[in-house]
Chain A
């Protein structure tokens, strides 16, 4: 493979903060034109990796290059080919959306005249017109993210780094940001993205790296990762605890059950697809209790994460947000 197809390469990238090992021997290759996602819970080391690649902090050991430039030795060159959208929308609160974009464009080196053109086209492209002259501190979270993304794109970067682009956004804004990201990908921008939402990695990334306690625990396409976890199944969610008990008694003779009392859920392997679903549905009908849900499920990345790291990915409140965006 030609070397210039690899946009980001890390080799044994490691970062210690005192005794704490934030990132441990992290290896990655991001090919041009692809979307690579780092997926992991809070504190897994995602942001630390991003900050090393974006030249904001220096690695303790190992190396990273962006478009062939070393992040330590050629940091200025790295900055000219990379655009970072950090986790905290990094805009000046007391400037308007437009003024923020102008400042970014001028800092990138555009002349005044070119700045006006670039800014106007970004305002149009990211649909910022409505709040272009509002101070950033008074726009909504979703609007802020759009300005933030636009600010990262005053030049066409070789690689766009997005650190948790939708954390804290409501489901609708998340959809808008995703749509924007998909457009950028369609235009051929190489994207390196971190997220704690499985949904997000699943929806956007070509290649996913699971990160846990600073180590890459698994990597592959979403399908690769899911297939490491196992087969599809039928999930039955009982309406109440008593119903769950009756279902367990009624179904256990015919099916192999996995019961999760907390979620009032029974999982049954379903290698035979819809036929299995029909069988289970009939059996549930025969037991005669109410259920909240009965569905055929393929393994999710959530399952993958649980299986590969031994812990669930998201904290409770993230779960809620993911659920909301699914519905």
Chain B
């Protein structure tokens, strides 16, 4: 008897319950991994600052430094804040990309992948965690904006429309970022490419100054820049303003939905395939 008891305390392993069916298991594992991501956000406030500091600096810079030279109908806050929110959506690519690259090169994701865990849950948790982090960032930016005089004109219908558009945008651009993170495998590279491509595109997207006042070349780019539709759509829903210019600017909501669905349709299969077939660790 004693021998058996000693044996038992020594091995100290509890019996594993039988494995649930794949579907509940996917939800359970995703929830656990999202929990890990959320805890990490709480532990590393600097990451949240990364998400919010840039739009906050831009808010102050454009509101109090450049703003007096920019002429738009109505208070500049009401022009600027929707622009910044549209821009933040696009910057989600960089945020999700750097986080994914870091995660994937640290070996943590490899460990998850070496466990009998639904593989889809690992990448789903990555996307959900990133989206939640960015929602937190967007709420901070919006709160500061309201504190500085931004007055969105929302009713129940347009509020839901805004939430829907934001979620769609977050979903599409986060998947884009996750794919970038897996392709470049280095947070520095993602950041470098991200800032070289996304940054100029947001300036041309009418986030800060109206596109129609730009010279021919930037105006043409801005007219067809997918990010322009994001900015114009957020502005349209928040303030009821209509943009002029290309078709996508006069139909910003439809265009934004089109771009986001297109990005999702391209990035999700590519990201899933990449996640399945390649290993990202060095």
Determine whether the beta carbon of A79 is less than 8 Å from that of B116. yes
Determine whether the beta carbon of A118 is less than 8 Å from that of B108. no
Determine whether the beta carbon of B43 is less than 8 Å from that of A135. yes
- Nearest CB of chain B from residue A55's CB, rounded to whole Å: 7
Determine whether the beta carbon of B32 is less than 8 Å from that of A93. no
Say yes or no for B3: interface residue by CB 8 A criterion.
Answer: no
Determine whether the beta carbon of A56 is less than 8 Å from that of B106. no
Say yes or no for A107: interface residue by CB 8 A criterion.
Answer: yes
Contacts of A109 on B, CB cut-off 8 Å?
A: 16-17, 19, 116
Contacts of B278 on A, CB cut-off 8 Å?
A: 57
CB nearest to A120 among chain B residues: B12
Say yes or no for B29: interface residue by CB 8 A criterion.
Answer: yes
Say yes or no for A274: interface residue by CB 8 A criterion.
Answer: no
Contacts of B19 on A, CB cut-off 8 Å?
A: 109
List of 7 A-B pairs having minimum Cβ-Cβ separation, nearest first? A90-B107, A90-B111, A88-B107, A121-B12, A114-B14, A80-B116, A94-B43
A: which residues have CB within 8 A of B?
Answer: 51, 54-58, 76-77, 79-80, 82-84, 86-95, 99, 103-104, 106-111, 114, 117-118, 121, 125, 135, 151, 155-156, 187
Determine whether the beta carbon of B36 is less than 8 Å from that of A84. no
Determine whether the beta carbon of B114 is less than 8 Å from that of A56. yes
Contacts of B33 on A, CB cut-off 8 Å?
A: 107
Instruction: Report the Cα distance A90→B117, complex, angstroms.
Output: 16
Determine whether the beta carbon of B14 is less than 8 Å from that of A86. no
Instruction: Report the Cα distance A91→B111, complex, angstroms.
Output: 8
Say yes or no for B251: interface residue by CB 8 A criterion.
Answer: no
Contacts of A80 on B, CB cut-off 8 Å?
A: 116
Partner of A86, one of B10, B13, B281: B281
Say yes or no for B40: interface residue by CB 8 A criterion.
Answer: yes
- Best-buried of A89, A90, A114 by chain B (most CB within 10 Å): A90
B: which residues have CB within 8 A of A?
Answer: 10-17, 19, 29, 32-33, 35-36, 39-40, 43-44, 106-108, 110-117, 277-279, 281
Determine whether the beta carbon of B40 is less than 8 Å from that of A111. no
Determine whether the beta carbon of B114 is less than 8 Å from that of A79. yes
Partner of A107, one of B32, B44, B281: B32
Determine whether the beta carbon of B43 is less than 8 Å from that of A107. no
- Nearest CB of chain B from residue A43's CB, rounded to whole Å: 12
Contacts of A125 on B, CB cut-off 8 Å?
A: 12
Determine whether the beta carbon of B39 is less than 8 Å from that of A95. yes
A-B contact pairs, 14 of them (CB 8 A): A54-B114, A56-B110, A58-B277, A88-B106, A89-B107, A90-B111, A92-B36, A99-B39, A107-B112, A109-B16, A110-B14, A117-B12, A151-B111, A155-B16
Extra inter-chain contacts (18) besides given A107-B32, A114-B14, CB under 8 Å: A51-B279, A55-B114, A56-B113, A58-B277, A79-B115, A84-B111, A84-B114, A91-B108, A95-B36, A108-B116, A109-B19, A110-B17, A117-B14, A121-B12, A125-B12, A151-B111, A155-B13, A156-B11
Contacts of A55 on B, CB cut-off 8 Å?
A: 113-114
Determine whether the beta carbon of B111 is less than 8 Å from that of A94. no
Contacts of A111 on B, CB cut-off 8 Å?
A: 17
Partner of B117, one of A56, A88, A107, A135: A107
